[in-house]
Every structure is written in C-alpha cells, then in structure tokens.
Amino acid sequence: EVQLQASGGGLAEAGGSLRLSCTVSGFPFDDFAVAWFRQAPGKEREAVSCYSSSDGSTHYADSVKGRFTISGDNAKNTVYLQMNSLKPEDTAVYYCAADSACALGMVALKWYDYWGQGTQVTVSS
C-alpha cells in the first residue's frame, strides 16, 4: 500500500519561511515523483512544485518560482518544500501527491495516483 505522510505546516508571518516534508512508503517502483499541491478556501487545488527522484529534476508553478524550493532525499524517500518569502496568498491546505513522473498545470490534478493528507499553511499579513 502506498502511503504519503505530509508534515510541517503551521503559521508564519508574511516574509517568513516554513518547510514541508512528504515521506513516501510502499511506492511500487524505484523512482518516483512527488508534487506539492495547495488549495485555498473557495479555490481549485493547484500544483505548485514537483520533484523527480530519477534525475533530481524540479519544477515550479510561476506563482512560487523564486520563493519555494523543492528537494528530495532519495534514501529517506522524503521530499521537502522550503517556502521562503511567504505571502498571505500562500495560505492554503498543502497536499503532496506521488506518481512515476512529474506533471504541473492543467493535467496535474488527474495525473497523480497517490495522495497524502493535507497540512495547513497560514501566512499572516
């Protein structure tokens, strides 16, 4: 059974930082891709970043590029999302999701087969 365990959300002030972690277990292949999504109240869930363990490649949505950094520790099957220069509009429930390759944009929501539970990120102004 594939399981994703997300952690690290919390409260930060605007301009501050938070780090999220997502640990994957039971993935059926040696290589995996983990994406972070977020969903703000009343808005659609959007993919913001993805890490591919096969080549260490990273991908970002324009909304977070330059502020968020995704990285992975393949030995621990864990992917991190370092969020810097946080803005109030980053407030959302953040979810991690896994599949065999990365996908962002319009196809992302249907791309990933495995999902973790959400973790709340709140940024105060």
Give the 3-state secondary structure of residue 111.
helix
pLDDT of residue 120: 98
Give yes or no for residue 8 having a pLDDT over 90.
yes
Strands (E), 9-110: 10-13, 18-25, 33-39, 46-52, 58-60, 68-73, 78-83, 92-99
β-pair partners for 69: 82
Of 28 and 48, the structure prediction assigns the larger pLDDT to 48
The pLDDT tens digits for 88-121 are: 999 999 999 999 999 999 899 999 999 999 999 9
User: Per residue in 42-99, pLDDT tens?
Assistant: 999 999 999 999 999 999 999 999 999 999 999 999 999 999 999 999 999 999 999 9
Q: Exposure of 44 by Cβ count < 10 A (0-12 exposed, 13-18 middle, 19+ buried)?
A: exposed
Write down the pLDDT at residue 112.
Answer: 97
- pLDDT at site 29: 87
* Per-residue pLDDT band at 30 (split at 50, 70, 90): confident
